Amino acid sequence: MTDWLESNPWESEDGASIVELTYRDEWTTPACWINNKHIALWGLGEWNEEECAEIAQGTGVRILDATQSDQPPGKRLPMEMNGERARDLFSDGERLYVATDSGTTVWDLDTREQIANLAGFTACLHDVVRGTLIAFGTDFIAEFSIAWTAQ
């Protein structure tokens, strides 16, 4: 990291620390950091070099370790979306929040199960310091505390 900050601003693109995580057809899909090492990318697709296309597509997230080029298998979290499109992803390190047009679902990262559905609350921002998700529209601003424990 010192090289990147002090001598080579392109270290992550051409330096010794480069890590190739994955190839994708579509890079405009949601993603978020889970912690300092792990990132959640929307979509379960895998890149097939021979076909030059994604295979095994589906709704959910792939969790990748940003420090390793070789990703261990099984870091997938399939999600039933009932035809909805994921707009954004947020994480507090323990849970993953998936914002859609109709609301936000909450997924436990350890159990890989949906633990809550915040219907009508489409999160747009995550305030890490306050521990909240924020939704807003033309005539409202709403805040939801994520400093909670699901029952």
Domains of the chain, by residue range, sit at 21-145
Under 8 Å between Cβ of 44 and 76? yes
Q: Which of 64, 53, 99 is nearest to 107 (CA)?
A: 99
Question: What value does the mean pLDDT take over residues 111-116?
Answer: 93
**What is the pTM assigned to this prediction?**
0.77
CA distances from 43 to 18, 78, 86, 100, 134 (A): 23, 9, 10, 14, 24
Give residue 148's pLDDT: 63
Percent of the chain with pLDDT over 70: 71
Phi-psi region of 63 (alpha: psi -120 to 50; beta: other; left: phi over 0): beta
Residue-wise pLDDT for 57-72, tens only, equals 678 898 888 877 676 6
pLDDT band at 150 (very low <50, low <70, confident <90, very high): very low
Q: Which CATH fold topology does 21-145 show? A: Methylamine Dehydrogenase; Chain H (2.130.10)
- What's the full length of the chain, in residues? 151
